[in-house]
Amino acid sequence: MKHHEVIVIGAGVAGIYQIKRLADLGVDATVLEAGGDLGGTWQWNRYPGARFDSESYTYGYSFSRELLDEWHWKERFSGQPENLRYLSHVADKFGLRRHMQFNCRVEAAHYDDAQNLWRLRTVDGRTGEGRALTCRFLILTLGLLSIPTLPRLEGMASFKGQSFHTFDWPHEPVEMAGKRVAVIGTGATGIQVIGEIADKVGELTVFQRRPNWSAPLNNGPISDAEMADIRRRYDEIFATCARTPGGFEHEPDRRGFHEATREERLALWDRLYDEPGFGIWLANFREIFTDEAANAEFSEYIADRIRRRVKDPKVAEKLIPRDHGFGVQRVPLETRYFEAYNRSNVQLVDISETPIVCVTETGLRTTERDHEFDIIVYATGFDAITGAFDRIDIQGVGGEKLVTKWRTTISTFLGMMIHGFPNMLMPAGPQSGSASTNYPRGIETGVNWCTDLLEYMSARGYTRAEATAGAEKRWTDHVTTLYAMMLMRKAKSWFTGYNSNVAGHEQGTVRYLVYNGGAPKYVNTINAVAAKGYEGVVLSADRGLAPTGSQPTAVA
Ligand code: NA7
């Protein structure tokens, strides 16, 4: 049985940075990755149009000046192939691949209280003893959106053409020219795919259950001169990201919505609509997120924009969401999305009116009629945030199953630790600062905090860290309270734990999965916890033995 001091599960954006920190410290650590290579999201999502909605230069890692100086982001919102090249470059540059094991899916992780270690079982080609690994610390960097979910439709296996979830888009090129293509789903992914392929396929039929509010990405190239300027400004750029709630360059407009005149509001919105990125969402008036009237007025502004871009008024009305306001779900950014519906080869099927009944050998049957296709693309989303945790049999003290603990209520301490699951860390876990922010900015924060905790423990001879039940309750209550202030609590989206394809998550009962206090508050809170000797975490040494020169104490 192989033992490591630390095992990291997942070699995506978070796992790569986590192993870099551990390797720098000389810790005996390894990354276990289910996929055949590193990159996580950017390894899997190869669908046409897959790209950042974050400015590329705010998505890259900030930890190495040399890396920042040598990498040239070619587009303001870089596409999947380039993003994967970047992550691969990072791994190669810092010699991280030698710490990674691919095609290595972990099926179980059980905490052994007597030995104070984690026992892992993998389901790769290994047999017998080789499948079992142990570690002192388990770090879960599983990804927020790494478990794709398919509709539960009869006949899916009988379809004779090609069909796949966008997450499992084939590695080899998919011939689309002249083909009849169906896309089911109009979330951030569907909206990217549809905009990209509308003019490349024979016929495109979009099956929309609920429309999403979306706004232009306004992508463009980054010239050598611009990149040189960005490099000069990196410190400033990251400082801006650190002080904004979303971890982006986009800062909320500090004027009060109700104090600004209608003309001032329109001037802001006209400007933001034409600017690149999430400004339209995050540089808007803050009341958009909390005030029904402000949100309704802005939503109507965006609805008018849709009406201006979509020629057929009936189609335009179908593309305007009615069940939620702008920005209370994750806002997809689009490129030529609305214009796609002006094309004669693109058709919108409103499946809230005529639901899909089943998949046939030749296509899709709705309550209205049969549609024939060569390719069916399922852009139907993910078992978000907790899905990847649920798929590993994680058992803590006394064999308590995490999936059971979280069945009714998600509860964590700072989104990074769980009571009853000692030495298990989640740099970007549920209720952490990552999910609702520019992901890599949140990840660096989380990884640094977890790594600092390990260093703190090592320096003092502690070998066991467990969040107290009280600290976990206080954090979870805090996360819940923050939801109460946000209009997003009313929307059925992955931010609230809704997924029609996952048993138990289809009701729309709110699950408190993301921290909504903003990046600066999150960072201040977790830093304060660390500064107080990890208040809320019980630190101890194995079997109660105090390390020399330091008295392990429960820090309440
Ligand atoms: P999302 O945002 O969860 O969107 C999934 C879409 O698929 C959404 O339009 C759903 O409609 C639709 N859907 C899901 N299941 C079905 C079934 N069974 N039938 C019809 N339509 C369905 O996932 P994405 O992949 O687009 O985006 C995820 C994140 O990736 C995104 O937020 C970015 O951060 C990156 P619904 O709204 O549920 O009616």
DSSP three-state, residue 444:
helix
The set of long-range contacts for 520-526, using a CB threshold of 8 Å and a minimum separation of 24, is 520/242, 520/243, 520/244, 520/245, 522/432, 522/433, 522/442, 522/445, 523/242, 523/433, 523/445, 525/414, 526/414, 526/416, 526/433, 526/445, 526/449
Taking the C-alpha atoms of residue 385 and residue 241, their distance in angstroms, rounded to an integer, is 23
Taking the C-alpha atoms of residue 209 and residue 502, their distance in angstroms, rounded to an integer, is 16
Q: Is 381 in the pocket of ligand 1 (CB under 6 A)?
A: yes
Predicted local confidence at residue 547, as pLDDT: 39
User: In the chain, which stretches have pLDDT less than 70?
Assistant: 125, 127, 129, 543-556
Taking the C-alpha atoms of residue 135 and residue 118, their distance in angstroms, rounded to an integer, is 5
Residue nearest to ligand 1 atom 35, measured at CA: 188
Q: Sign (positive/negative) of CA torsion 502, 503, 506, 509?
A: negative
Q: Is 387 in the pocket of ligand 1 (CB under 6 A)?
A: no
Of the candidates 472, 453, 464, the one whose C-alpha atom is nearest the C-alpha of residue 405 is: 472
DSSP three-state, residue 65:
helix
Determine contact, residues 214/221, Cβ cutoff 8 Å: no
Predicted local confidence at residue 543, as pLDDT: 57
Distance 3 CA to ligand 1 centre (A): 40
Predicted local confidence at residue 125, as pLDDT: 65
Taking the C-alpha atoms of residue 525 and residue 522, their distance in angstroms, rounded to an integer, is 5
Distance 190 CA to ligand 1 centre (A): 8
Write out the two tokens for 370: 């049969």
* Beta strand segments in 278-392, E: 333-334, 346-350, 356-359, 363-366, 370-372, 375-378
Distance 186 CA to ligand 1 centre (A): 6
Predicted local confidence at residue 549, as pLDDT: 37
* Beta strand segments in 217-322, E: none
Sheet holding 162-165, edge to edge: 162-165, 375-378, 180-184, 203-208, 346-350
pTM: 0.95
Taking the C-alpha atoms of residue 283 and residue 268, their distance in angstroms, rounded to an integer, is 9
Of the candidates 22, 116, 140, the one whose C-alpha atom is nearest the C-alpha of residue 453 is: 22
Residue nearest to ligand 1 atom 37, measured at CA: 210
Tokens 């950014």 identify what position? 333
Taking the C-alpha atoms of residue 265 and residue 291, their distance in angstroms, rounded to an integer, is 15
Distance 60 CA to ligand 1 centre (A): 26
Closest ligand 1 atom number to CA of residue 498: 38
Query: For the segment 440-451, what is each residue's pLDDT rounded down to a tens digit?
Result: 999 999 999 999
* Beta strand segments in 421-520, E: 424-425, 464-467
* Beta strand segments in 302-418, E: 333-334, 346-350, 356-359, 363-366, 370-372, 375-378, 393-395
Q: Is 268 in the pocket of ligand 1 (CB under 6 A)?
A: no
Whole-number Cα distances in Å, 244 to 123, 231, 283, 316: 42, 20, 10, 34
Taking the C-alpha atoms of residue 415 and residue 429, their distance in angstroms, rounded to an integer, is 5
Strands 29-32 and 100-101: parallel
DSSP three-state, residue 56:
helix
Q: Is 321 in the pocket of ligand 1 (CB under 6 A)?
A: no
Closest ligand 1 atom number to CA of residue 351: 20
Determine contact, residues 383/390, Cβ cutoff 8 Å: yes
Q: Is 72 exposed, middle or buried (0-12, 13-18, 19+ CB in 10 A)?
A: middle
Determine contact, residues 216/273, Cβ cutoff 8 Å: yes
Q: Is 117 exposed, middle or buried (0-12, 13-18, 19+ CB in 10 A)?
A: buried
Taking the C-alpha atoms of residue 86 and residue 88, their distance in angstroms, rounded to an integer, is 5
Q: Is 54 in the pocket of ligand 1 (CB under 6 A)?
A: no
Query: For the segment 390-431, what is each residue's pLDDT rounded down to a tens digit?
Result: 999 999 999 999 999 999 899 999 999 999 999 999 999 999
Q: Is 313 exposed, middle or buried (0-12, 13-18, 19+ CB in 10 A)?
A: exposed
Predicted local confidence at residue 462, as pLDDT: 97
Distance 149 CA to ligand 1 centre (A): 9
Q: Is 330 in the pocket of ligand 1 (CB under 6 A)?
A: yes
